[in-house]
Amino acid sequence: MNRFFICAAVLMLGLSACKQPGPTADTDRPVPPKAAVKPHQLEKHGHVRTDNYYWLRERENPEVISYLEAENEYTEKMTAHTKSLQDKLFEELKGRVKQDDSSVPFFKNGYWYYTRYEEGKQYPVRCRKKGSLDAPEEILLDGNAMAEGHGYFNIRGVSISDNNELMAFGTDTRGRRIYDLQVKNLKTGEILPDKITDVTPNVVWAADNQTLFYTRQDPETLRWYQIYRHKLGTPRDQDVLVYEEKDVTFRTGISRTRSNRYLIIGSWQTLSSESRILEADQPEGEFRVFHPRQRDLQYGVSHLGDKFYIRTNLDAKNFRLMATPVGKTGLKNWTEVIPHRSDVFFGGFTLFKDHLVLEERSNGLDMMRIKRWDGSDDHYLDYGEPTYTTWSSSNPEIDSTVLRYGYSSMTTPDSIFDYDMNGKQKTLKKQEEVLGGFNSADYKTERIMGKARDGVEVPISVVYHKELFRQGENPLLLYAYGSYGASMSASFDSSRLSLLDRGFVYALAHIRGGQEMGRHWYEDGKLLKKKNTFTDFIDCAKHLAAQKYGHPDKLFAMGGSAGGLLVGAVLNMEPTLFKGVMAAVPFVDVVTTMLDESIPLTTGEWDEWGDPNDKTYYDYMLSYSPYDQVGAKDYTNLLVTTGLHDSQVQYWEPAKWVAKLRAMKTDDNKLLLKTDMSSGHGGASGRFDRFRQRAFYMAFLLDLAGVSE
């Protein structure tokens, strides 16, 4: 039964949630849908909350679907006047992209691998060439052909066997990050009958070219918790469970070291981790614990030669690098390679035969450090811009003396370089080609420091069009995330040009809750210090206005997922600070979700937000939870988006939030909810569909700023 028939059936039953919006008697403005009030009491620690919209959790309830469809129709009508602007923006976004583009090929085990797009098509084609880039092309997967008939389509988990003859891959056609694994014979083109349904895309080969290891998620919570071994040609019910993560606060997955020598099962949660190792050529052997898990001890394992290398926070808040001989993994055998530094966050590393590449962050900026194992050289790459991002790219060959890395800034499109680590020469392999007359010299990027109310200085990355910037006059969009220790780097986005070219200033606030300034930055924005994240954002907005980067009456805010919680909390604290707010897939029903262990991600995040079964955390979380703190007051213009199949933030959180705001707010500003009925947390899967979504979001902001073209 499709959703339109469901809505029609509900209409015949006369249920209020499917009430269709239409014009009022005295105006042309549509009447917003009104969700039915069905009080549901939630009690904890002797405190009772009444949730009038708890019923919206019933995904299969036709009344719920009807309400979401009615909200979509209302949003469509309320934004109809921006349709021509949306179309123009869509054509701009699409017009900046080279449609027949391809990635920079990388070499692995005798083949060059790359992806390419074809003119007018939505999905990438994955290809390879044997030995030389002049060799005939071999198409591995054509995403366009595979996506036919599906509203959503995604490929992940592509893994090639050691003999180059078999390829495992996972496909998701629902947007809920639940995949079907299959294996393709690359010699014959045949898809083997070994189909493993409803699992994660986490799959690796053993060295025998016959054994696959894959990860299964809990069907209800979606927590990754089981590792299975599958032998090609055998039924799935004969697959062997090799590991089950029984601690509900942990997740698990499997990988293979870049040396290809070892399989590693990792278990992790916010504050601790654990690894198990097994020789890749002994797939039926027993995995061995590398070091038993300990509270507050995090570590990750890589391999090179006769040693394992370990990135760990052992006596090192900002992490350090240690090593231990193969066969002696106990903690007492670990020796220091790179020491801890209080002013530098050690984020990751890549092992080469002759070099060690370190990814560091100092004073909020990414850095790439190259160190020879023999000690004869130790240097950093130089980038020459005030704010930027850099990363280690595809480096599968451990014997290489060339580092492939990426670089981007708010004015420099994504660029891929090959860097000769001996000769210290870099070669630009590709820079994202931005069509439509783009010239990076037309834009300026800055890095400024805003002062939080407790005196802490918060970095802010800013970009604007030089000729359109007028001190204190421009509309300004402020974005941030501020959770899970995720650092937001200043990178390029060609879509953003449509705002900059219409006079917008774009600002990225590196607020606490991320790890931009080190581990302490994260710890000062989580648990019982979470409100620092929200006040940092508010203070950055006010600082930008005071420094005349934007007009005080033309400030806009945007956040997604946990960043949606951020802007939701800020809305309750400063409901009219911003002219408009865009909240994408927002995590806004914090207390109820964190009390419900059946919801995906809950148990693994108690160390991030707090466990509300503890009254201290319950009270604190309740004091900022966007849904619980909605009040009878004026709120600014708000656009909220969600996906019906979202596996990260369930659709009902934003739906309930909008329903409660509609019932309680005292203003006449716009309140719009747009639900993608065929996708999940990441939105649309096709590249042009994503452009259409972005055009809609930008049209909402531009319309509020008084820009119609």
Q: How confident is the model at residue 601 (pLDDT cuts 50, 70, 90)?
A: low
Residue 279 is predicted with a pLDDT of 98
DSSP string across 559-593: EETHHHHHHHHHHHHSTTSSSEEEEES----HHHH
Predicted confidence (pLDDT) at residue 386 exceeds the cutoff of 70: yes
Q: How confident is the model at residue 1 (pLDDT cuts 50, 70, 90)?
A: very low
Residue type, 652: W
Q: Please give the model's pTM, rounded to 2 decimal places.
A: 0.87
- Quick one: average pLDDT of 271-288? 97
Residue 385 is predicted with a pLDDT of 85
Q: What are phi and psi of 448, to 5 degrees?
A: -120, 170
Distance (Å, whole) CA 338 – CA 331? 16
Residue 7 is predicted with a pLDDT of 31
Residue 645 is predicted with a pLDDT of 83
- Quick one: average pLDDT of 420-443? 95
Active site residue 681: yes
- Quick one: average pLDDT of 682-688? 62
Residue 6 is predicted with a pLDDT of 26
102 versus 215: the higher-pLDDT residue is 215
Predicted confidence (pLDDT) at residue 429 exceeds the cutoff of 70: yes
Residue pair 585/642 in contact by the 8 Å Cβ criterion = yes
Q: Which domains does the chain have, with CATH numbers?
A: 1-68 (no CATH), 79-94+449-704 (3.40.50.1820), 100-148 (no CATH), 153-300 (2.130.10.120)
Residue 230 is predicted with a pLDDT of 98
Crossing angle of helices 562-573 and 531-546, in 10° steps, is: 70
- Quick one: average pLDDT of 566-583? 98
Predicted confidence (pLDDT) at residue 697 exceeds the cutoff of 70: yes
Predicted confidence (pLDDT) at residue 39 exceeds the cutoff of 50: yes
Residue 159 is predicted with a pLDDT of 96
pLDDT, mean over the chain? 92
Residue 122 is predicted with a pLDDT of 82
Predicted confidence (pLDDT) at residue 15 exceeds the cutoff of 80: no
Distance (Å, whole) CA 641 – CA 675? 6
Q: The tokens 């950093």 sit on which residue?
A: 380
Closest CA to 66 of 34, 22, 29: 34
Residue 119 is predicted with a pLDDT of 84
DSSP string across 368-383: EEEEETTSS-EEE---
Residue pair 287/277 in contact by the 8 Å Cβ criterion = yes
Looking at 483, 561, 625, 685, which residue is catalytic?
561
Residue pair 98/413 in contact by the 8 Å Cβ criterion = no
Distances, alpha carbon 273 to alpha carbons 247, 296, 310, 387, in Å: 12, 9, 12, 32
177 versus 306: the higher-pLDDT residue is 306
Looking at 646, 647, 679, 685, which residue is catalytic?
646
Residue 16 is predicted with a pLDDT of 29
Residue 27 is predicted with a pLDDT of 52
508 versus 15: the higher-pLDDT residue is 508
Q: How confident is the model at residue 680 (pLDDT cuts 50, 70, 90)?
A: low
Predicted confidence (pLDDT) at residue 17 exceeds the cutoff of 50: no
- Quick one: average pLDDT of 264-293? 96
Predicted confidence (pLDDT) at residue 657 exceeds the cutoff of 80: yes
Predicted confidence (pLDDT) at residue 186 exceeds the cutoff of 90: yes
- Quick one: average pLDDT of 545-567? 97
Residue 275 is predicted with a pLDDT of 98
Looking at 366, 645, 681, 703, which residue is catalytic?
681
- Quick one: average pLDDT of 8-26? 31
Per-residue pLDDT reduced to its tens digit, 325-381: 999 999 999 999 999 999 999 999 999 999 999 999 998 899 999 999 999 999 999
Residue 646 is predicted with a pLDDT of 78
Pair type for strands 111-116 and 106-108: antiparallel
| Cα 231 off chain centre by | 33
Residue 366 is predicted with a pLDDT of 93
